[in-house]
Structure 1
Amino acid sequence: MRKITIIITVLVAINSLYVSKAFAESSPSLPTVASEAAILLEANSGQILYDKNANSQMYPASVTKIATAIYAIETGNLNDIVTISSNASARNVEGTTVFLEKGEKVPLKKLIQGLLINSGNDAGVAIAEHLSGSEEQFSKDINTYLKNVIGVRNTNFENPHGLFNSEHRTTAEDLAKITRYAMKNETFGKIFGTKELEWDGQTWDTTILTHHKLVKEEIPYEGVTGGKNGFVNQSGYTLATTAERDGLSLIVITLKGSMKNDAYNDTIKLLDYGFENYRTSIIPKGTKFMVEDQEYIASEKIAYTHPKNEQLSKEINEDGTLEIITQDGVVTASYQLKKVLNETHNVKTELKNKSTNEVKFESIFGHLNPYLAYFSIASLLSIIGIFYRQKI
């Protein structure tokens, strides 16, 4: 009996080890992030795969320029020629510049390139003045745009470049939303991923280089498509990065790193975590689904992100809601499908709209041709008349 007990105990222990190992393999451990706030977002689905203090308001520094760039691209004319004011000249703007001179004439697109690639604060001021007349009005305009067009919740920008202002704040989640929105714009995407650009300025002829180490491949990483870095003393090191592999499109935002390497190390950890453990499945636009005799259709492409080893199922509710369900029965995402008005539905609708007499008429004679129906009634009345006369 004692031997049997020992054997059972050993088997239970081995089984426990196996279950623990299997659970560990199916639930990857989250990376340790040194930056004070961070987020990992999948751009196709919009799903958040990791977050740390993602809704805490912080100082973004130069990653602010992502918002300024997409706002300028969407609301301005890229071919406009901007005359640089004294206020926007490099000698009157702090920090990194593209050495703009008062009176210099520069196309708006070139200013956006100088803003994103070389982090030109003077280019930011020139853009703000051109679009809104002043930095103060620009701040009001861009905040309205970010709230109404992109849907941010916890952002207030006081300038176009990110130089420190105690009221100039945002969150990792809002920055991820802004970056996701901006990357849908082809012009923005090209500039955001530019490594170097020939710059022919009035007083500065050079090749400007991106300051983002992953974009310029100073730190090699497969699949990086764009990025923007930032630093002021009050914000610490901030970083925005986009990368794509095998249909998985990732956005990483890190805020308030105490050292420059923190931002890059955290970003690489989060990208590795996303690429190694997740995939995005696509339901193409136009895909049809049936619920009993009712047809529904995906009016837009549907994307949902999930662990690579997770088995998912789809369920359509009577109202046309498509639910993506995990093997544990948890609804991980839901989408509203469009109802297709089929022939059966149209017949039912027509019946509801007919008068009571018409419905009674059809209940007797079915869906006959109207002329045939009236002929049948006339014939019936004639027979009744003959029968009545014979009886008399």
Structure 2
Amino acid sequence: MILKQIITKGLITTILCSCINCTSYVEKYKQDAYSKSKFKEILKETKLVSDKDLNSKYYKYLEKINFTNEADYRSNQESFENEYTKNHGLLEASSGILVDTDKMEIIYAQNALADRAPASTTKLLTAITALEFLDLDTPLKVGCERDFIARDSSVCGIKKGDMVTVNDLLHGLLIKSGNDAAYTLACYAGMYIYNNTYIPFNENKLDGKYLLPDTYNYSEKDAVKYISTFINFMNINVRIMGCETAKFSTPDGYDDKHQRVTAIDLAKICVCAKQNKTISEICNKTTYHCESLDKTWISTNELMDKETEYYNPNVDGLKTGTTDDAGMCFVSSAHNNNTHLVSVILGGDTESRWSETNKLLDIGFQY
């Protein structure tokens, strides 16, 4: 992952203007442990980070991702897709895309500009954003943000009061697909961003008084404030990556009407994730044992499981996702000799996301 300092405050201001309204972020909690009305009350009394408060020296950004034939695809989508399907047939999934990341070229696309729910593929962006502000060895204490996840969430099993390192949380996030890990990472990274906005301290990592025991006793109001701030930066990051319409309103990808992404934008997020050595290495693991919790997490990626019919030895990541709105989603990375690919499947069913990913990868390796 290549990080650079943002040079002008104007960039932050421009991007923040396109970020989600934090009120929409609160709406998802209507089925959670706390009532919708309580979160609205908390948010109304909360001072959120705004563009005028931001001090640009604390914020980093990612390089813009450009696919060489993206402009042509956007302006001639129908003719491009007719050619793709003529040669390779249609996908059963709602949307899909295949990109050669060496040439940065779109090889196949179907409805790749349509807005879709991202489900847990969102967690790649959560990891990218968290790693801008948190060190892997930093221990974090799970707090009240654990109660914010939806009751039917996928979890890695952390509990309030657990002390877990950022590294362990990232494994729980990306291998086990834990929504609980997503909220704890978002809360602490958001705490760093929020506190740095008003109280300058070490700009390289979260430390000092913000990791003293008192910091672990933050209130629900503070947690909402920190997570909302983090989500703003998720949206800043996707704009900088070159994602034109992507909008995120949760750190875990749980269904929300304001949360949408296109296959082409999600492919850019995947490219950025693969450029990050930590994320790439975690997503390439099939299991991980968290010693502090004595838990073993098993990857949800069936293309990396030798015991399944879909096993593909070329696949080295990335992330699954499933919700009612999104359907069955899967973003993958694979390599064979000198060819490196990223594929995206959105809105598939249980089996088709695996078989159709293998279909796309075969197209890419024969291209």
- TM-score strictly above 0.5: yes
Cα deviation 1:41-92 (Å, max 9, x = unaligned): 0111210000001111100101111111122223322222111112225987
User: By how many angstroms is 1:209 displaced?
Assistant: 0.5
Instruction: Tell me if 1:267 matches 2:322.
Output: no
Cα deviation 1:143-178 (Å, max 9, x = unaligned): 012212x22111111011111101011111111111
Cα deviation 1:287-324 (Å, max 9, x = unaligned): xxxxxxxxxxxxxxxxxxxxxxxxxxxxxxxxxxxxxx
The 5 A counterparts of 1:90-129 are 94-129=152-187
The 5 A counterparts of 1:242-281 are 242-257=333-348, 259-276=349-366, 278=367
Residue 301 (structure 2) aligns with: 212
Q: Distance in 2 between matches of 1:75 and 1:31?
A: 43
Instruction: Tell me if 1:60 matches 2:60.
Output: no
Q: Equivalent of 2:98, from 23, 33, 40?
A: 40
Instruction: Tell me if 1:147 matches 2:236.
Output: no
> Which AA in structure 2 matches 1:53?
N
> Which AA in structure 2 matches 1:212?
N
User: By how many angstroms is 1:31 displaced?
Assistant: 3.3
Instruction: Tell me if 1:136 matches 2:228.
Output: yes
Q: Distance in 2 between matches of 1:78 and 1:212?
A: 23
> Match of 1:88, SS?
helix
Unpaired stretches in structure 2, ≥5 consecutive residues: 1-84, 192-225
Please provide the CA RMSD for this pair: 1.8
Residue 30 (structure 2) aligns with: none
- Cα–Cα, structure 1 residues 201 and 31, in superposed 2: closer, same or farther, change >3 Å? farther
Residue 252 (structure 2) aligns with: 161
Q: Distance in 1 between matches of 2:311 and 2:142?
A: 37
Q: Distance in 1 between matches of 2:336 and 2:311?
A: 15
- Cα–Cα, structure 1 residues 191 and 141, in superposed 2: closer, same or farther, change >3 Å? same
- Cα–Cα, structure 1 residues 184 and 125, in superposed 2: closer, same or farther, change >3 Å? same
Calculate percent identity across the aligned residue pairs: 28
> Match of 1:220, SS?
coil
Larger radius of gyration, structure 1 or 2? 1
Q: Distance in 1 between matches of 2:313 and 2:156?
A: 30
Instruction: Tell me if 1:191 matches 2:249.
Output: no
> Which AA in structure 2 matches 1:267?
T
Q: Distance in 2 between matches of 1:267 and 1:147?
A: 27
Higher RCO, 1 or 2 (CA under 8 Å, sep at least 6)? 2
Q: Distance in 2 between matches of 1:157 and 1:94?
A: 20
> Match of 2:266, SS?
helix
Instruction: Tell me if 1:175 matches 2:271.
Output: no
Instruction: Tell me if 1:232 matches 2:323.
Output: yes
Instruction: Tell me if 1:88 matches 2:154.
Output: no
> Which AA in structure 2 matches 1:49?
I
Residue 313 (structure 1) aligns with: none
User: By how many angstroms is 1:32 displaced?
Assistant: 2.4
More strand by share: 1
> Which AA in structure 1 matches 2:328?
Y
Q: Distance in 2 between matches of 1:94 and 1:124?
A: 15
> Match of 1:119, SS?
coil
The 5 A counterparts of 1:351-366 are none
Q: Distance in 2 between matches of 1:187 and 1:118?
A: 16
Q: Distance in 2 between matches of 1:128 and 1:55?
A: 28
> Which AA in structure 1 matches 2:357?
T
> Which AA in structure 2 matches 1:233?
D
Residue 78 (structure 1) aligns with: 136
User: By how many angstroms is 1:216 displaced?
Assistant: 2.5
> Match of 2:97, SS?
strand
Residue 29 (structure 1) aligns with: 87
Q: Distance in 1 between matches of 2:339 and 2:149?
A: 43
